[in-house]
Structure 1
Amino acid sequence: MQFHVNGFVPGDPDVHPAAPGRRRPGDPLPDTVDVLIAGSGPAGLCLAAQLARVPGIRTMLVEPKLAPMEKGQADGISVRSMEMFQAFGFGEKVMRESVWINETTFWAPGADAALARVARVQDVPDGISEMPHVLINQARVHDMFLDLMRRSPTRLEPDYGLKVVDLAIDTAAAEYPVTVTLEHTAPDREGQRATLRANYVVGCDGARSAVRGAIGGALHGDAAHQAWGVMDVLATTDFPDWRMKSFVRSKDEGILMVLPREGGHLVRLYVELDALGEHERVADRGMGAADIIAKAQRIFRPFALDVKEVVWWSIYEIGHRLTDKFDDVPAAQVATRAPRVMLAGDACHTHSPKAGQGMNVSMGDTFNLGWKLISVLTGRADAALLHSYSGERRAAAQGLVEFDHKWARVVGARSEDDAADGLPRVAREFVANLPFTCGLTIQYERSALTGAPTHQHLAAGLPIGKRFHSAPVVRLADAKPMHLGHCIEADARFRLFVFAPAGDTGGRGGAVAALCDWLEHDAASPLRRHTAPGEDVDAVIDVRAVFPQDFRALEYGAMPTLLRPRVGRYGLTDYEKVFCADTKRGEDVFALRGIDRAAGCIVVVRPDQYVGHVLPLAAREELAAYFAAILRVRT
């Protein structure tokens, strides 16, 4: 990480200087805000954490509950979410606190009807990510976002005890067109209402979203009419795989899933309960924790299960539902107005927890939205950019709902008669779907943000529209081994990775120097066109170079000035723009990611870590056109 850029600052470098005029806890409700976020679940907090970093954006986060979450709900963190956490700066903390899922085991009745382990598979395929698949209490994820918000310039904190009950949009108003009605939920103020106006409202308020209802949205889909129980327990058992992620199917009692939790002792169980009638709800059965425990004990037989403490439990129905659109603009009006109200997370898609994607996809929604809102509110992009949110994330959610529907049927299958290659069907399907459950199959379709694959062959291992797959490198200035993707922070900037061709050492006459000279000095350069006067040269588009040579074969001082930029009020040199292949450890980024070693290339990475374009080093006009379609001219 970098700090002291604008002068020496003692103490914790993660605590940013407080912005003047910020709102403090306990202050009266404001009359206007730039962004109102409804709901402080994973989607709401992921968005708030991004917006909190920008001093000029006034954000308010309202939450009906009276205090932060402490336990329960989601637990699985996909490798894609871990990559995102790395961008926020708390990926390593999550890795230290969480339990890593390394193997998944499958249990089914053997020849004598007793449970037997029928398969075990590696949970995360080799080489798919530098990050693990982990399990951790959702409340701890909330804590980490909340800590980041408190340390950000705006010192943003949720307003607990407030919920959105209604909103109205004045489509003719240029400023603060959304009037929001809030209602207090604290016992001493319950039912009291207040209004404020916002430029944008984001509904992260769950499956019963008031924001969704206010813009006429609805969830469409179906239910499997099956009750499931979930509980976090401290227990003793002789089941051998108590600390493994396990699928257990009994002969006559149904199925359950074992998910070890952080701390070495806590375990979560997902337990199949009763089938429900066509119009029956879980609440009609009056089931409780004792019913979940009893059913789990029957499924586990002949293994014993003695529950010492139930930390948290819930009973739910499986549902697979999706909204028509993730914003307030009807299809017929897309060309004439930009979104003002958007939905994220369970407010626009719901599904079962079996694939472990709910929290992950919800955070993916607002990681996609956050940089776009920042770009619009800071004047870097036109409001039309916000249309891309619904287009990109609804397609991603549609894929999740379809996968979840299929996976729920596989997990709930009563027979393993179709075993093949030594694996039962559920294990076979699990292996086939690992890239999906890792969160790595999303590929955004071609758009202004996602270029044509004309030059994809130059970086075959970095598909356009998919997340940027990091690889080991060595930083030239200090010989530090690191992952290239870890220089991507959640700061709303584009990254432009320049992969040098063989023989190029960065000096004059080479392709890298020529490109950098154009980027830094030519009036047609996207850096010149889209960076505002007074901003650092990398404030909007962060250019970094990667060379195929060993770091000892290059001289930092010979690099183009764009790769040794002067930044901050003192004009200090940024020494972290140049990288080399890690030849000492034999981890060649060019080979690992299919980079054309002879030609080199440019890889554009969006602020949400997805590859926006792959271009030749000489493709000046194409590069300028890509950014011109997204960003405003600000010179």
Structure 2
Amino acid sequence: MHFHHHGYVSADPRIQAAEGYGIDRPDELPDEVDVLIVGTGPAGMIAAAQLSQFPDVSTRIIERRPGRLEIGQADGIQARSVETFQAFGFAEEIIREGYHITEMAFWNPDQENPEHIIRTGRPKDDETGISEFPHLIVNQARVLDYFAQFALQSPGRITPDYGIEFVDLQVEDPATAADPKHPVQVTVRHTSGERSGEERTIRAGYVVGCDGARSQVRKSIGRSMFGDQANHAWGVMDVLANTDFPDIRTKCAIASKHGNILHIPREGGHLFRMYVDLGEVPADASRTVRQTGVEEIIAKANEILTPYSIDVRDVCWHSVYEVGHRLTNAFDDTDEDDPNSPTPRVFIAGDACHTHSAKAGQGMNVSMQDGFNLAWKLGQVVTGRSTDELLRTYSLERRVTAKNLIDFDKEWSTLMATPQEELPDKAYLEQFYVKTAEFPAGFMTEYTESMITASAAGQELATGFPVGKRFKSAQVNRVCDAFPVHLGHQAKADGRWRVYVFADSQRPTNDTSGAESKVAALADWLESDPQSPLVRFRRPGDDLDALIELSVIYQQEHTEFAFTDAPQVFRPLVGKLQLEYLEKIYATLPDDDIFEARGISREGAVVVVRPDQYVSGVFGLDEHERLGEFFAGVFAP
């Protein structure tokens, strides 16, 4: 953790000093905000947390409930999400708190006694080492709590405005609006307290609708959901119970002659969730099945579990739903078919623009990546770091991801509801689970070429960092203190870009006057050339690494050189005391060489990673002009 650069800190170093709008932040929702987030679900809270790192952006988040969420419906936390939590500083806490999925048991009818179920397989959850992070089960409310804590402790000091709901909005033409920077008129209504029922109008620069499947923000911009309803009902319950079922603390896919169960143990050692198959539902019986009581769900679960049973002692939460797969035609209010249309002012995220079943455990996870994707872009645009064209990339990127999720979920949820005898073979569901593991883990997202994603040119220099996919971490040795760390874990959700310089085989040198060392020549260009992004886009008073954080990784071991041998640009002066920062110079580990692990050329490479941890491009060490041109397309002068 980086602190003391502004002076000695004796209190909790996670609590950053308030800046900008975080200083004397008004308790009352103001009449004018730069970004208004509607809804404190996963997409909304991660967006607020990220924007809290942009204290010069006035951000507020409203929620119609009178207080925090207490019982969350989502619980599955994929490895990609835990990776994201690491950037927000609470992965370790949530890993300690959560239930760890290490394997999944598959139960099917006993061939000798089909009325009974037997275990037929128990594959590992991550047999191929997709991620160094675990697959967890954690109550959604706790995830939101952690994001709320991060937002409150960040410079922007963002806290939710509870008891306020969104009513409607109107987007004015910025060219003729009374306030061109805040052209969105938003009507909100108080839902609790002395002002309950009172409406008021505020002005916003941008609105982010994270208000669920019945999103009023979506309706206000004329977007509609398209898709299908599977007409297959499931009862879901979180319960505390005793049982003789031997895998009650293991995630299970249970298929019997009487239906199916997706069983998920919960955190804490006792709680578990069951998705219980209630069967096909005629189109005219939808309302009736939703009235199914929890006692009927429990009875059905016991029938499916034969010869085992559960004795439910407490029902914490239950519901009935039908599988639906729906998607909006766009995730913002602009016309994607017209490149000359105004850039977006209103966005939708999470369930407001894509809905699916809970079987793949993707709802909260994909929603969080929606919010993460959008928030740093809003931060860059509102602060003038980028033009508003950057905002067009949100819908273009995230709609493809949501469509891929829905296609996957359709297949998985259909298989979950299919009797074993109708599958190609009795192990088909288990085989599908294993071969598609990378998708539900959250690592199949791949963004295509755009203003923030370069072409695949240079990919051969770092094959383990595919352009458009998330930056997959690997271990390195920090030179200044000989401390092994995961390279990707050092990147924080602070809105900055990352440039990782993987050196060629030459020994480190801080002599940038010679042209023999490609790293030294690159360092000289980065530090002094007018076309370098560190020079061209650096504002007066900014630290050298305020916009882009540089790291260098040498092929030598840490005993073969000192940090002082690295060029000065990799040892920037930071903070008001202008202290030299030494922790971004790395060496390889003798038994875990990152160059081998990630297919990095021994000729070296430059890997550019955007603030939400996705690889934007791979460049040669001497491709200074191409690197400068890429960043010229990202940032505004």
Q: Given that residues 109 and 250 in structure 1 are in contact (C-alpha distance below 8 angstroms), is that contact kept between their aligned partners in structure 2?
A: yes
**2:407 aligned partner:** 402
Alignment match, 2:212: 206
Indicate whether 1:320 and 2:359 are aligned. no
Residue-by-residue CA offset, 1:265-290 (whole Å, 9 max, x unaligned): 11111111142222442456521211
Residues 409-442 of structure 1, C-alpha deviations (whole Å, 9 max, x = no match): 111111246565xx61111111111000000001
Structure 1 residue 20 displacement after superposition: 6.1
Aligned-partner Cα distance in 2 for 1:9–1:23: 19
Mapped contact 1:526–1:624 kept (Cα < 8 A)? yes
Structure 2, unpaired ranges of 5+? none
Q: Does 1:30 align with 2:30?
A: yes
Separation (CA, whole Å) in 2 of partners of 1:279 and 1:451: 51
Distance change (3 Å), C-alpha of 1:282 and 1:26: farther
Asked whether the equivalents of residues 510 and 568 of structure 2 are also in contact (C-alpha less than 8 Å), the reply is no
Instruction: Give the SS at the match of 2:600.
Output: coil
**Aligned twin of 2:443:** 440
Q: What is the number of residues matched between the two proteins?
A: 627
Change (3 A) 1:285 1:231: closer
Which residue number corresponds to residue 291 of structure 1?
Answer: 296
1:270 has 2:275 as partner: yes
Aligned residue number for residue 139 of structure 1: 141
2:250 maps to which of 220, 240, 244: 244
Quote the Cα distance in structure 2 between the aligned partners of 1:42 and 1:23.
26
Q: d(CA) in 1 for partners of 2:617 and 2:475? A: 21
Query: SS of 1:361's equivalent?
Result: helix
Report if the CA contact (8 A) 1:72-1:232 is conserved: no
Deviation at 1:190, TM superposition (A): 3.5
Cα deviations across residues 289-313 of structure 1 (Å, max 9, x unaligned)? 1121111111111102101111111
CA contact (8 A) 2:54 2:495 kept: no
Match of 2:563 among 551, 556, 570: 556
Q: Is residue 222 from structure 1 mapped to residue 239 from structure 2 by the alignment?
A: no
> Does structure 1 conserve the Cα–Cα contact (< 8 Å) formed by 2:378 and 2:391?
yes
Deviation at 1:19, TM superposition (A): 3.2
Question: Greater CA deviation, 169-178 or 270-279?
Answer: 270-279
Counterparts of 1:338 and 1:436, CA distance in 2: 31
Q: Which runs of 5+ in 1 are unaligned?
A: none
Give secondary structure in 2 for the equivalent of 1:317.
strand
Confirm or deny that 1:500 pairs with 2:503. Answer: yes
Answer with 547-556 or 31-40: which moved more: 547-556
Q: CA deviation at 1:230?
A: 1.1
Structure 2 counterpart of 1:58: 58
* Match for residue 148 of structure 1 among 144, 147, 150: 150
Moved more, 424-433 or 408-417: 408-417
**CA displacement at 1:532 relative to structure 2:** 1.2
- Relative distance call for 1:417 and 1:316 in structure 2 (3 A) is closer
Match among 600, 603, 612 for residue 604 of structure 2: 600
Residue 97 of structure 1 corresponds to 97
Note the C-alpha offset of 1:518: 0.6
- Cα pair 2:462 2:600 within 8 Å, conserved: yes
Instruction: Indicate yes or no: 2:634 matched with 1:630.
Output: yes
Which residue of structure 2 lines up, in the alignment, with residue 616 of structure 1? 620
CA distance in 2, matches of 1:288, 1:336: 50
> Taking every aligned residue pair, what percent have the same amino acid on both sides?
46
Q: Is 1:415 the counterpart of 2:417 in the alignment? A: no
Q: Which residue is 2:573 aligned to? A: 566
Q: Does the Cα contact within 8 Å between 2:510 and 2:564 map onto a contact in 1?
A: no
Give the deviation of 1:124 after TM superposition: 1.6
Match of 1:489 in 2: 492
**2-structure distance, mates of 1:25, 1:384:** 30
- TM normalised by structure 2 equals 0.96
Give, in angstroms, the shift of residue 478 of structure 1.
Answer: 0.8
**Residue 382 of structure 1, CA deviation:** 0.5
Instruction: Quote the offset at 1:338 in angstroms.
Output: 1.1
Aligned equivalents of 1:438, 1:265: Cα separation in 2? 25
Q: Counterpart of 1:249 in 2: which secondary structure?
A: strand
Question: What secondary structure does 2:457 align onto?
Answer: helix
Moved more, 387-396 or 53-62: 53-62
Q: Which residue pairs with 2:524 in the alignment?
A: 517
Look up the match of 1:355: 360
Shift in Å at residue 191 of structure 1? 2.4
| CA–CA distance in structure 2, aligned partners of residues 618 and 554 of structure 1 | 23
Cα separation, 1, equivalents of 2:161 and 2:344 = 24
Say if 2:500 and 2:552, in contact at 8 Å, map to a contact too.
yes
Partner amino acid, structure 1, of 2:229: A
Shift of 1:26: 7.8
The answer on whether the counterparts of 1:36 and 1:59 sit within 8 Å (CA) in structure 2 is yes
Name 1:68's counterpart in structure 2: 68
Match of 1:384 among 389, 414, 426: 389
Instruction: Determine the C-alpha separation between the residues in 2 that align with 1:228 and 1:188.
Output: 40
For 1:14, the aligned partner's letter is R
Worse overlay, 329-338 or 188-197: 329-338
8 Å Cα contact 2:21-2:58 kept in structure 1: no
Matches of 1:378 and 1:53 in 2, distance apart? 12
Match of 2:9 in 1: 9
Amino acid at match of 1:546: I
Matches within 5 A, 1:334-345: 334-345=339-350
Q: Partner residue of 2:198?
A: 192
- Quote the Cα distance in structure 2 between the aligned partners of 1:534 and 1:437: 44
For residues 245 and 143 of structure 1, the distance between their equivalents in structure 2, rounded to whole angstroms, comes to: 25
Amino acid at match of 1:608: D
Q: Secondary structure at the match of 1:331?
A: coil
Amino acid at match of 1:404: D
- Residue 560 (structure 1) shift: 0.2
Aligned counterparts of 1:505 and 1:21: Cα–Cα separation in 2 = 43
- The one-letter code of the counterpart of 2:460 is H
8 A Cα contact 1:604 1:613, kept in partner: yes
Residues 515 and 20 (structure 1), Cα distance of their counterparts in 2 relative to 1, 3 Å cut: closer
Paired residue for 2:550? 543
Report the TM-score, using the length of structure 1 for normalisation: 0.96
1:28 shift after superposition: 3.1
Q: Aligned-residue CA RMSD in angstroms?
A: 1.5
CA distance in 1, matches of 2:421, 2:262: 16
